[in-house]
Structures are given as C-alpha cells and as structure tokens.
Amino acid sequence: MSLSSISNQVNHALAKVTWGKEQIEKYKTECGVTSVKKSLRPDGDPTQPLPVILGINTRRTYFQTATLFFKRAEEITDEGLLARLLNPDIIMTTFEEHYTYSAPGTVNKLLAALEKVHLGCLKLGWSKTPSPITPEFRGWAKSFRDDSNVRAPRFGYRTEDSVKVVEFLKEKKSAYALPAELALRCGLREDELAGMQGQNIDVEHNLLHITGKGGRYRPVPIPEDLILRLNRSKQFIFTPSASWRAGFRRTMLDTTKELGIAISGVHRLRANYAQNRYLEFLDQGLDDRGARRQISELLGHARIDVTYKYVPKGFLVPEDNNK
C-alpha cells in the first residue's frame, strides 16, 4: 500500500465497499428482490450490519466518522498506515481516549464505519487480519453509556467490584496491579499513570505532583503505604507508550471477564475514587456542592459540573448504591 494521507486511505477503503445505482439495480435484477437491504442482511435480520454501503449519504457519514477516528489514532501511535491502525489494541486505545462518553448513536455509527473500513482494506489487499470490531468489542464499547443507572460504567464499578479487580491483579502478580491501585486510590488518569516520573513523587508530604489534561498541575494525595511502593529512582515509574496503555486496558478487560464483572475499563477506577472521596467529604460535613468542589480539584477538572460524569446526581451511600 502506497503512503498517503489517512483521509485518502479511508476514502479508497470505503469506495471498495460502496455500491452505486447501477450495482444496486443489477443486484435486484439478478436476485429477483425488491429490497436490497433486507436481502443482503444475514437471515434478513435488520440488526445485522450490511456487507456494503448503499447510498452516498451513508458513505459520506462513514468517511467523516472514520477519518476523524483514524487521525486521532495516528496522533496517539505516530502510525500512518490505515491497515496497521486497525490493530485491536490501537482501536481500543483510541476509543477510550476520545469516545468514552459519546452518545449511543455516535458509538453505533463509529462501529459501523470501522467495520466498513476494515472490509474495504480486505478487498484492497491492505489487510488480511480479522475484523477488530468483534462482538466482545461491541459490548465493551457500548457499555460506557447508561445515564439511567448510577452503577453505569461511566460512573465506575460497584464498590466491591473495584476492590476485587485490584486484589485479583495483585494475586496474579500482574505488572498492572500497582497502576490499577493508583487509579482507584488516587484517581489518576491512564495517561497520568503512564507518564508518572520518579522526580514527581513527594515522599515527605505524601503527594504526587501531576500535570494532567491541558497542562494543568495538581498535587494528588497518596496513602503512605502506596507511595513507599513506588521506585523514585526510575525516570518513569511505568511506561509512557501506547502499547503499555493498550496492555493495561486489555488486562482490565480480561480481569473483569474472569471475575464475571459485566463492565470494564481503567477510567472506571478513577470514577470509584471520586465516589469514595465524595462520600468522605459528606461525612466530614460538606454539602453536595462543597464535596463536588473538592472532587473537581482532586481530579484536575476546571469545572465542577464535570464531576457529574463520575458522581451522578443523587448519588447514594454504598449500601444503597450496590444492591
């Protein structure tokens, strides 16, 4: 495959699986059908994806959606070949970085666009690998959004499940046990964990000096037993790379599956941290807004309203929240 821009590669891939009016009419005549969509879907099931794109508007939507996704993937990995960006770990990394809180319709459209791009790459001979959009990935991607349930993935695991995940990783002596515990007990983002440097560990004051999104600095309190397990002599405590982050997500996915937990994700541990601290602040006498203000500062957010993505309105005590 010759080198070209992401948009050109996506365009070529989608063109390979797009039917024009002539192809549609030819199919109708040869197969004796009136509904091409119904005929092409497996067993006529309307929930199953079509193997081709029918209509210029659908193709335009897929092109815009997939191009943006793969440009973001390119920024994360510094990889410019579309076929290589279809790697499952890169797809997962890009999704969790940019689409975690996307609406269900946006996620469905994205998954459909990625499937068509992969199919086009197969037809062009650019790729020979299976589709990264597996049923398991679909379930994982769609599990991020459920506004009606305070235990929804975007709001974290159940309290007891978050502890189970960390303890399981410890028992397995996983390399991701310590970063998972830091996410749960300090509320760090995935990229903050990956980029954590030994020089930013303040043992004297039990603080982590973190530079987060937008270059915003914040001091993060860390329990003494946890800070003593960090090797300050290392430049980077973990590994600041896309592959390390993808491995972290993959490990979390495998762990929750083995534990029988229906949801997964690194960021959910950060949400559990926010919920735990929120309840602590309420116990200390703060009202809802005061507690949220403290949570906003700890998480490194510029606006208090962002806390509702972690601690939903009307959040209850753990006993009620985990029935």
Q: What is the 3-state secondary structure (H, E, C) of 169-235?
A: HHHCCCCCHHHHHHHHHHCCCHHHHHCCEHHHEECCCCEEEEECHHHCEEEEECCHHHHCCCCCCCC
Q: Is residue 293 pLDDT above 90, yes or no?
A: yes
User: Strand (E) positions, the chain?
Assistant: 18-19, 53-54, 201-202, 207-211, 217-221
Q: Could you tell me if 137 and 235 lie in one domain?
A: no
State what percent of residues in the chain have pLDDT above 70.
Answer: 91
For the chain, the maximum distance between any two Cα atoms, rounded to a whole number of angstroms, is 79
Q: What are the backbone angles phi and psi of residue 82, rounded to the nearest 5°?
A: -55, -45
Average pLDDT over residues 66-84: 93
Q: Could you tell me if 137 and 174 lie in one domain?
A: no
Read off the pLDDT of residues 260-288 as tens digits, 9 standing for 90 and up: 998 888 889 999 999 999 999 999 999 99
Tell me the pLDDT band of 238, cut-offs 50, 70 and 90. very high
The CA-based dihedral angle spanning residues 78, 118, 68, 64, taken in that order and rounded to the nearest 10 degrees: 150
Print the domain residue range for 257: 155-321
Task: Calculate the alpha carbon distances from 71 to 85, 254, 297, 316 in Å.
Answer: 10, 28, 31, 40
Average pLDDT over residues 241-255: 86
Tell me the pLDDT band of 148, cut-offs 50, 70 and 90. very low
Q: Give the amino acid at 146.
A: D
Among residues 99, 137, 114, the alpha carbon closest in space to that of 62 is found at 114
3-class secondary-structure state, position 280:
helix
Q: Is residue 313 pLDDT above 60, yes or no?
A: yes
Q: Could you tell me if 133 and 174 lie in one domain?
A: no
- pTM equals 0.60
Read off the pLDDT of residues 209-226 as tens digits, 9 standing for 90 and up: 999 877 889 999 999 999
- Position 303 scores a pLDDT of 86
d(CA 225, CA 206): 10
Of 142, 174, 197, the one marking the end of a domain is 142
Query: 147 in a domain, yes or no?
Result: no
Helix axes 159-171, 177-186, angle to 10 degrees: 150
Q: Is residue 317 pLDDT above 60, yes or no?
A: no
Query: 148 in a domain, yes or no?
Result: no
Query: 149 in a domain, yes or no?
Result: no
Average pLDDT over residues 94-116: 85
